[in-house]
Amino acid sequence: MAADGNGNIPVPDLRTMEELCQPSLNGRGGPIAPIAIQVMNFRLKNDMIQQVQNSCQFHGLSGDDANKHLDKFLHVTESIKVNGVTDDALRLYLFPHSLTHHATAWFDRLPRNSINTFEQMAKMFLRRYFPPSMVIKLINEITNFRNIPMNHYLRHGNIISNLLIDV
């Protein structure tokens, strides 16, 4: 066997093929890192999950508003409390239940144990679904809206007024 750069000889893996093929949970898990919670046997209750799922679902489609989703999620989770569990931990564990379809696929692809706080989760979510390019696009739309001459609005306003009179 060849030594590594430090002169150490690597220890061979002596497991059999059968042992190597056994299913294992090692290396599995989601993007949310385990959080120390003071309450013994804490788990999300079904009614908490259903409240989030029924009130604010984010699909990850181009027309979905990520900021509105976060506002709605924060509003819904404001009323969910568990003694000994921080709001941050509750929100972090509940947030994946607010995602569906494309957004769930995005969340599932995040690196294992890469998220430690809800703020970190929210920043990653907004970076994905409300990137700087979208901000620039919205600023340009507002700027272009301001630059349209007033007579453009008056002309369309007259057309709408005439249509309303005919009704």
Q: Is the pLDDT of residue 113 over 70?
A: yes
pLDDT at res. 13: 74
Residue 32's φ and ψ, nearest 5 degrees, are -85, 120
Residue 74 confidence (pLDDT) above 60:
yes
For the chain, give the longest Cα–Cα distance.
92
What pLDDT is attached to residue 90? 96
The structure tokens listed for 141 are 């739309």
DSSP annotation string for 119-135: HHHHHHHHHHHS-HHHH
Distances 32 to 88, 113, 162 between C-alpha atoms, Å? 12, 5, 58
**Partner residues linked to 32 by β-bridges:** 115
Distance CA 44, CA 126 (A): 25
Mean pLDDT value of segment 101-117: 95
pTM over 0.85: no
- Return the percentage of the chain with pLDDT > 90, whole number: 50
Q: What is the mean pLDDT of residues 3-31?
A: 71
Placement of tokens 């769930």 in the chain: 104
| Best CA proximity match to 75, nearest among 102, 103, 94 | 94
Contacts of 51 (CB under 8 A, 6+ apart): 76, 80
Confidence of residue 108 (pLDDT cuts 50, 70, 90): very high
pLDDT tens for 131-162 read 777 777 777 777 776 565 666 555 555 655 65
Residues 23-66 pLDDT 10s: 665 556 789 998 888 888 889 999 999 999 999 999 999 889 99
Distance CA 30, CA 33 (A): 8
pLDDT > 70 fraction of the chain, expressed in percent and rounded: 78
Q: Which two tokens stand for residue 119?
A: 């703020």
